[in-house]
Amino acid sequence: MKVIIVGGVAGGATAAARIRRLDEQAEIVVFERSGYISYANCGLPYYIGGVITDRSDLTLQTPESFFARFRVHMKVHHEVTAIHPERKAVSVRNLETGEEFEESYDKLLLSPGAKPTQPRLPGVGLSRLFTLRTVEDTFRIKSYIDQAHPRSAVLAGGGFISLELAENLRELGLDVTIVQRPKQLMKPFDPDMASFIHAELRRHGVRLALGHTVEGFEERDGGVDVLLKDESPLHADMVVLAIGVTPDTALAASAGLELGVRGSIAVNDRMETSVPDIYAVGDAVQVKHFVTGQETLLSLAGPANKQGRIAADNICGGNSRYPGSQGSSILKVFGMTAAVTGVNETTAKAAGLDADAVILSPMSHAGYYPGGKVMTLKVVFEKGTYRLLGAQIVGYEGVDKRIDVLATAIHAGLKATELMDLDLAYAPPYSSAKDPVNMAGFMIDNIAHGILRQWRLEDAATLPRDGSVTLLDTRTVEEFAQGHIDGFVNIPVDELREHLEELDPGKPVYVICQSGLRSYIACRILDGHGFTCYNFSGGFRFYDAVMHEHHLVETATACGMDQ
């Protein structure tokens, strides 16, 4: 059997190694148009920032090392220019010599990946305008910084690569501005959770120009003007386009393969395309979202590696299936960690799911053990069924292990209420006896049994201030004096029982405290005395952080510059 693989990196290189492990006799040839067959794509911003100092550390395998171990022919600087399914062959161009030739195959695997989205805007192609996707892109940016010593950069786009690059450029001393058309960064997060990411970036001097549309680029005064719709230009010494990626599927399209979302390659759960004996994996393929079941695109290294293994199994006569992508991701933002899995509340509702969420602010480990830090955790579930839909966490310690537990729970089909039953490791330096994941489960179980009723951030502006409801803040007098929501009266929870006669049991009570715990206790007291009580999800800490960031974004949008 002869297998041709188009593209290396995650999916293609993984498939090549797996095929060899399953079939020692197969002839395997990989054509890669760049000079690198397997590299740490996610490490590229950290090489630019000097965290990774040796460029060879970015290269996981070379053609020589791959051949030595797997006897796979890795042909770098070779571009496949056409597929001929009718005669099971591909046309190839040697980019170093210009030679063109055909190569036959029994099985063909496409792993072309995705390319940086290049908007059709004036000025695209300027020398100080960069993209970051490949090792070559990385070296180009690094070389420019080392030689030109730029003092400022504008990053167009607010996804993973942009934020990682923003951090690394700031660490090099550059003034950094991120410009983004939506009014939030990091689309996988709900706007309320993205607020914490915004705040961390601002704390480290990154300017945010949110809600602004880029209309072009012009060279001026040795730098680049980023032209904005209805606003003054942003000027910088360099600009990086990081507005997303587009599936690189021109080859598949010209060969007549069925395409899917945004021009991606349509595949089944065996990673088979619409043409027999042609498989496809990685950032170029359409997949089903594990939670919603909808067709989607998710450009992540983990799924690409898994898909490469599955395609290899099936090429070698197996019957492996890809269950879908869940979108589990994690990001370092200076000192903060932000992580997500499944779908956020916004996406869930857009998909027609009757979604709800709990928000909590637990410590990363036992409060009595020194060094614990607060994290904010949002768990999204389906009303009625309590199906676990997704989770988002921002914090400083312990975020990674909690998101992995929640990702596993979603994959295993656990209900959100069953999170309270998970037997998770506990010692004071690492967790609490009631782990944050367990706590989320307790809260959702209370909702399921009618013990907890919630009100949410989006309800705050519409709560009646006409006396028809009671608005109650159960924090201390000192906390209340430092900031509170207009219209709320302050009765500390430990004094509540002594003030019950001041409250009307015929009116619903909306309660808030700093984190949500004291207000929950207040609700249990009030419920026990015949009141109907609603607890604020997230607490005043959450409310204040989100509303402060919302104010900054709205002010910056109105003024045309980050505040």
pLDDT value at position 510? 98
Q: Which amino acid is at 391?
A: A
Q: Is the pLDDT of residue 549 over 80?
A: yes
Q: Which two tokens mark 201? A: 């970036």
Any idea what the Cα angle at residue 51 is, between residues 47 and 52, rounded to 5°?
A: 50
Closest CA to 196 of 552, 560, 561, 485: 552
Express each pLDDT in 220-268 by its tens digit: 999 999 999 999 999 999 999 988 888 999 999 999 999 999 999 999 9
Express each pLDDT in 417-474 by its tens digit: 999 999 999 999 999 999 999 999 999 999 999 999 999 999 999 999 999 999 999 9
Of 266 and 117, more confident = 266
Residue 550 banded pLDDT, cuts 50, 70, 90: confident
Q: Is the pLDDT of residue 101 over 70?
A: yes
Express each pLDDT in 474-512 by its tens digit: 999 999 999 999 999 999 999 999 999 999 999 999 999
DSSP structure class, residue 471: E
pLDDT value at position 558? 62
pLDDT value at position 518? 97
- The mean pLDDT value of the chain amounts to 94
Express each pLDDT in 257-282 by its tens digit: 999 999 999 999 999 999 999 999 99
Express each pLDDT in 385-416 by its tens digit: 999 999 999 999 999 999 999 999 999 999 99
Closest CA to 485 of 455, 506, 520: 455
Q: Could you give the residue numbers annotated as active site?
A: 42
Q: Per residue, what are the HEC states of 214-226? A: EEEEEEECCEEEE
CA–CA gap between residue 7 and residue 65 (Å, rounded)? 17
Q: Torsion-angle region of residue 200: left (phi > 0), alpha (psi -120 to 50) or beta? A: alpha
Residue 307 banded pLDDT, cuts 50, 70, 90: very high
Name residue 176's beta-bridge partners: 153
Express each pLDDT in 2-55 by its tens digit: 999 999 878 999 999 999 999 999 999 999 998 887 766 778 899 999 998 888
Share of the chain above pLDDT 70, in %: 98
CA–CA gap between residue 25 and residue 36 (Å, rounded)? 25
> Any residues with CB less than 8 A from the CB of 190 and at least 6 apart, and which?
344, 345, 346, 378, 392
Handedness of CA 549, 552, 554, 557 (dihedral sign): negative
CA–CA gap between residue 79 and residue 116 (Å, rounded)? 18
pTM: 0.94
Q: Per residue, what are the HEC states of 197-209? A: HHHHHHHCCCEEE
Q: Is the pLDDT of residue 563 over 50?
A: no
Express each pLDDT in 322-349 by its tens digit: 999 999 999 999 999 999 999 999 999 9
Q: Is the pLDDT of residue 85 over 90?
A: yes
pLDDT value at position 55? 81
pLDDT value at position 560? 54
Q: What is the mean pLDDT of residues 203-220?
A: 95
Q: Torsion-angle region of residue 2: left (phi > 0), alpha (psi -120 to 50) or beta? A: beta
